[in-house]
Structure 1
Amino acid sequence: MEDREVVLATVKKNGEVLKYGNAGGWRKDKEVMFEAIKQNKKLLKLVSTDLLQDSQFMLKCLQLSFPELATLESIDYSNKEIMMKIIQEFPFLFSLASNALRNDRDIVLAAVRNDGNLLRFASYLSDDKEIALVAVNTTGNALDYVSLPLKNDRNVVLAAVNQDGYALCYASHELKDDREIVLAALRQQGLALRFASEDLKKDRELVLTAVRQDGGALALASDELKSDQEIVLEAIKKDKNALSHASKELFHDKEFLLKTIKLGCKDVLQHAPKEFASDREFMLKVFSYNDCSDKELMLEAVKINGFALRFASPALRQDAELVMEALKCNGYVLQYSDELYQARMEHCYHNVYVGKNKETK
């Protein structure tokens, strides 16, 4: 948005456009921002830091929401009555409150009821348990701003992780080893397993809870539990990409591979021993779970062992890409041709192809 007149006309109709693209520069423009705020008062949150510090501009904007401020010549951010009204409508403006009001319990409670993270502006009250509980119940990560003693308070930390599992990050070392608290966190966010103690990362029930919430949590489990079939399969049900975090030992177990294929992990064959693709009984089971005309699965199979091409549907046996991959792998083709022979020689012998021997007369 380059033309100022165009921008003004646009924000008068839809101030939301200032949220997107390269509109950041216009958030410093008083007239543009005022027109946007007239159209949508909540857009006051978009104004630049410089405009937030402009008392006359802020008074003009706030008068749109609070007609009773019309007689004021400037805003007194130390006036408790005025700030209480402003914070209830625009909580983020708590940051503009005077130092005295930032440590006024009533004002702080009003602020953190809307956004717990506003506790960061009230450092003198970070040890107030009532305020801390209100803050973390609103925004779990507000646990970051409570005092060290409260980060070790079970009630405060439990409330925080029940609101946001990631809040476990800010708990004391002692409470990161508290099974009840970690379990509550994992029910909200499986990846919070990252912040649990090393001992609890070995707890089978906790890891199961984590991967059922987010399959990617398998990456954070102990090596032993990455070999646990039930845990790995539960992770895959949530996120097929979790397979990449499973123990390599599991890929030598045909029954495990079949279970993963049944869950839709078509690329699992690339991790399996090559001889598995030559096992007729195994491959027939693979294709009993998936249509043998499934090109994606068949492509993975022939990359491991070209002989797997014989299990493909009649149509796929003629597929040029599949035939070429089978040929590259181990020279397997269903029907000989000079063209395919040349391709095999060039692929395996660095583009060398000697051609046919000429018959001697």
Structure 2
Amino acid sequence: MKVTVFEMAEKAYYQLMRARIPDRDAELRQILTAMTKHLQPNVAARITNELLAHMAIETGFLEVFIPILREEFDLDHDRERVLFLVQQNPRIFSYIADRFNDDKEIVKSAVEQQGNLLSYASNRLKNDLDVVLSAIRNYSPALSLAGPMVKNDEALLKRLIEENPYAHYFVSLATESLKNDKDFVLPLLSRDAFIYEFLSDRLKSDPDIQAAIRNQDDGFRK
């Protein structure tokens, strides 16, 4: 019966999980060698490559495979390989971000699947509206990881607030200059009175702000 690469990868994975943690890198090499020793060298290399890729994509213990992946796949330089792996398993980005954190295609591929990975992006890309929106779409708190240019983007915040019933959450993440911008804040109070908690003392005492809050209270009581 022909054994598939998937079945070989599953077997290698479970054998590896039984290995002692300090020896897992060496153990994995031994497992892969044993599995492919009957093959021609070029075929063995291809199968080993496929096995490693499969395990990297499917595993929940990615840290086990990163050292050998770096060596076998040259993750520090092989951009196309990195992009493919990140597309399949975004967590890989967190392990290679030191080399590719300013590569927009790779970063966007990671954050549009797992928004909290924005924390590993470069400062330039944390201020890239396209990248940040990709992260926010699947993880709203990603805005907290964005750069100041994005957090101070009035149009973006208004858009997020309009799309989200918890407007105060996005206001809480805005820069101080926006939180102190009466023209920005006042229209939003009618959507979410909790915004008031994040305003400066100056704005909290503003007559128009006070009136907006009273209107909210009156509407609630009615």
User: Same fold by TM (over 0.5)?
Assistant: yes
Aligned residues, how many?
193
**TM-score normalized by the length of structure 1:** 0.43
- Does 2:218 align with 1:292? yes
Kindly indicate whether the alpha-carbon contact (under 8 Å) linking 1:216 and 1:235 is maintained by their aligned counterparts in 2.
no
Alpha-carbon shift at residue 184 of structure 1 (Å)? 0.6
Q: 1:230 to 1:95 in 2, by over 3 A?
A: same
1:187 CA displacement: 0.3
> 1:76-127 CA distances to partner (integer Å, 9 max, x unpaired)?
xxxxx9xx989858953444477743533559xxxxxxxxxxxxxxxxx8xx
Note the residue ranges of structure 1 that are not aligned, 5 or more in a row. 1-80, 108-124, 295-312, 316-361
Q: 1:163 to 1:249 in 2, by over 3 A?
A: same
Q: Which amino acid aligns with 1:243?
A: V
Identical aligned residues as a percent: 25
Q: 1:91 to 1:172 in 2, by over 3 A?
A: closer
- Determine the structure 2 residue equivalent to 1:257: 185
1:244 aligns with 2:167: no
- CA offsets per residue over residues 209-244 of structure 1, 9 Å max, x none? 222322222222222222112333455538753433
Say whether 1:214 aligns with 2:104.
no
SS in structure 1 at match of 2:137: helix
For 1:253, the aligned partner's letter is D
TM-score, L = length of structure 2: 0.65
Q: Deviations over 1:115-153 (max 9, x none)?
A: xxxxxxxxxx8xx54333222332487363412513432
Q: 1:103 aligns with which of 33, 41, 49?
A: 33
Q: Which residue of 2 aligns with 1:270?
A: 197
Residue 179 of structure 1: how far off its partner (Å)? 0.7
Cα pair distance change 1:277/1:215, threshold 3 Å: same
One-letter amino acid of the counterpart of residue 129, structure 2: R
Counterpart secondary structure, 2:118: helix
Extract unaligned runs of 5+ from structure 2: 20-26, 38-44
Task: Using the TM superposition, give the Cα deviation of residue 185 of structure 1 relative to its aligned residue in structure 2, in angstroms.
Answer: 0.7
CA RMSD across the alignment:
3.9
The correspondence of residues 1-361 of structure 1 with structure 2, limited to 5 A, is 88=10, 91-96=13-18, 100-105=30-35, 129-139=49-59, 142=62, 144-145=66-67, 146-148=69-71, 149-171=74-96, 173-233=98-158, 237=164, 240-258=168-186, 260-264=188-192, 266-274=193-201, 276=203, 281-285=208-212, 290=216, 292-294=218-220, 313=221
Q: Which has the larger radius of gyration?
A: 1
The answer to which structure, 1 or 2, has the higher relative contact order (CA under 8 A, 6+ apart) is 2
Distance of 1:238 and 1:88 partners within structure 2: 44
